[in-house]
Amino acid sequence: MRLRAHGAPSGPIPLRAELPATSPRLETTCGANLLAESCNFQRSVLPVPPRPTASEDEIRLERLRQRRRRYPLWRLLRANARDVLLLARQAWLSLLLLALLLVGSALYIQRAFMPGDFIQALYATMLLLVFESAVPFPEDWLGRLIFFAVPLLGLFFLLQSVVDFARLVFDKGSRREGWQISLASTFSDHVVVCGIGRVGYRVVLQLLDAGYEVVAVEIDPSSEFVPVVARLKVPLIIGDARDPDVLRNAGLLRARGLIAAINDDLKNIEIALTARRRREGVPTVLRIFNRALDTNLERSFGRNSAFSSSALAAPTFAAAAVSREIVHVLSLAEGMLGLSEVTVASESKISGFARALEEHYSVRVIRHRDSAGRPRRRGFMSRVEAGDVVLLLGTLGALERARLDNLAGSKLGFLSATPPQRPTERLNTVIVCGLGKIGAAVVQLLTRIEPRPELVVICTPQTPVEATAPLEAQGLRVLRGDARDPATLEAAGIQRAYAVASVFGDDLMNLQVGLAARGLRPDVHLVLRVFSDVLAERLAALFGIKTAYSTSALAAPTLAAAAVLREVEHAFDVGEQLYAMETLPVAEGDALAGRSVQELREQYDTLVVALRRGAARELLPAHAQRIVAGDEVVVLGELPALARLRSEKQR
Question: So what's the pLDDT on residue 35?
Answer: 40
More confidently predicted of 249 and 413: 249
- Work out the end-to-end distance of the chain between its first and last CA atoms, rounded to an integer number of angstroms: 34
Lowest mean pLDDT among 128-142, 404-418, 612-626, 634-648: 404-418
Give the sheet arrangement for strand 429-433, strand by strand: 477-480, 454-459, 429-433, 497-502, 525-530, 548-550
Which residues contact residue 645 at a Cβ distance below 8 angstroms, ignoring those fewer than 6 apart? 584, 591, 600, 604, 606, 635, 637
Question: So what's the pLDDT on residue 491?
Answer: 95
Which residues contact residue 429 at a Cβ distance below 8 angstroms, ignoring those fewer than 6 apart? 423, 453, 454, 455, 456, 492, 493, 496, 497, 498
| Residue 559, pLDDT above cutoff 70 | yes
The model's pTM = 0.75
pLDDT band at 65 (very low <50, low <70, confident <90, very high): confident
| Residue 244, pLDDT above cutoff 50 | yes
**Alpha-carbon distance 576 to 301, whole Å?**
29
Mean pLDDT of 405-420: 53
pLDDT tens column, 207-216: 998 889 999 9
Measured at the alpha carbon of residue 320, what is the angle toward residues 314 and 321, in degrees to the nearest 5? 90
Question: So what's the pLDDT on residue 158?
Answer: 65
pLDDT band at 480 (very low <50, low <70, confident <90, very high): very high
Radius of gyration of the chain (CA): 31
Cβ pair 499, 523 in contact under 8 A: no
pLDDT band at 452 (very low <50, low <70, confident <90, very high): confident
Question: One-letter amino acid identity for 455?
Answer: L
Question: So what's the pLDDT on residue 22?
Answer: 39
Characterize the bridge pairing of strands 607-613 and 191-194: unpaired
What 3-state class would DSSP assign to 527?
strand
Question: So what's the pLDDT on residue 567?
Answer: 84
Mean pLDDT of 247-270: 92
Which residues contact residue 607 at a Cβ distance below 8 angstroms, ignoring those fewer than 6 apart? 364, 366, 393, 600, 601, 635, 636, 637
Helix then strand count (H, E) for the chain reads 24, 23
Mean pLDDT of 392-414: 77
Cβ pair 430, 443 in contact under 8 A: no
pLDDT band at 155 (very low <50, low <70, confident <90, very high): low
**Alpha-carbon distance 78 to 306, whole Å?**
35
Cβ pair 220, 237 in contact under 8 A: no
